[in-house]
Amino acid sequence: MSTQTMTPVGTANIPVRRMDFEFDDTIPKYWFDNNPMLTMLLTGLSCVFPEGERMFMRAVRHYQDQITDPELQKEVRAFIGQEAHHGKEHQAFNDFMAKKDLPIARIEAFVKKAIAFEEKNLSKERMLAKTCALEHFTAMFAEMILENPQFLDGIDDRLKPLWLWHAIEESEHKAVAFDVYQKTVDNYWIRSSEMAVTTVMFSFFTGLHTVELMRASGEQRNIKAIAQGLNKLLGKKGFFRGMLPHYLAYYRPDFHPNDRDSTQLRNKGLALLKSYLGDKIALAA
């Protein structure tokens, strides 16, 4: 990793941190708990990130000139800056996983086509509502990681910073797309119905990509890995347990992402990231 600098595009609360991760070929193929299911679940998500985050940027950018609040304008630029860097680093990660004989390029091409189809057929309002829905998902997962940093324990040390850095920044900018939506589209029906549709599609395609990647590795019948993975996520002490109220809160007409103040969680996450990266990262105040 090279030295990090802060770009002026960020705000104090949404700093744009430039990362330059290099993923060493000696990192094992199953870098999460030596478990194909958990590894491919996160890899499948990563395949969606670069184009998905570009879609978020386009959805928000469409409304950028309707924003009159100078603070929100700055936050929009910071949001775009952070998402652009996530895309860049996840692309590097995806390229690294592609060398492990996985159909990464095929999934990325599919995601690109699917998003282009949606952008062609859905209204700008819906695309922004979809962005808000997916930002709620990323914020939920991000804050689960920040709340339970032991989630990262099973991940290869060289990959922990990527996931933790992304989690911190998703939490930092979780309200930006939502605030743009409320200031422009501000339609509860579109927001809530789009969340329902997005939940089904996101779950289906996340599952599909996980299965596709496992199949390519000949691991689709590895019941032990699947059972262990599901138990880690959904079992009695599963990391995804307890997320339902957080998810359902989105359907409240008066919901706002900052109803849940996560400043302390992020500070803890930033301290952990610093312990991983040392002086290689300039952390924002």
Smaller CB separation from Fe ion, 30 or 141: 141
φ/ψ of residue 74, rounded to 5: -65, -40
Segment lying near Fe ion (by CB under 5 A), choices 35-43, 59-67, 76-84, 201-209? 76-84
Minimum gap (Å) between residue 49 Cβ and Fe ion: 6
When the beta carbons of 142 and 272 are compared against Fe ion, the nearer one is 142
Please count the residues of this chain forming the interface with Fe ion, following the rule CB under 5 A. 3
Smallest separation, CB 84 to Fe ion (Å): 9
- Judged by CB under 5 A, the stretch of 3-11, 80-88, 185-193, 225-233 that binds Fe ion is 80-88
CA distance 44 to 94: 9
Q: b/e string for 69-90 if b means 16 or more Cβ within 10 A?
A: eeebebbbbbbbbbbebbbebb
CA 211 to the chain's CA centroid: 20
CB closer to Fe ion, 36 vs 269: 269
> Distance between CA 205 and CA 281 in Å, rounded?
34
Q: Does 86 bind Fe ion (CB under 5 A)?
A: yes
**Cβ 51 to Fe ion shortest distance, Å:** 12
SS3 of 240, please? coil
Minimum distance from CB of 198 to Fe ion (Å)? 14
Contact 190, 251 (CB under 8 A): no
Residues written for the chain:
285
Window 169-208: residues binding Fe ion (CB under 5 A): 170
What does the binding site for Fe ion look like in residue numbers (CB under 5 A)? Answer: 83, 86, 170
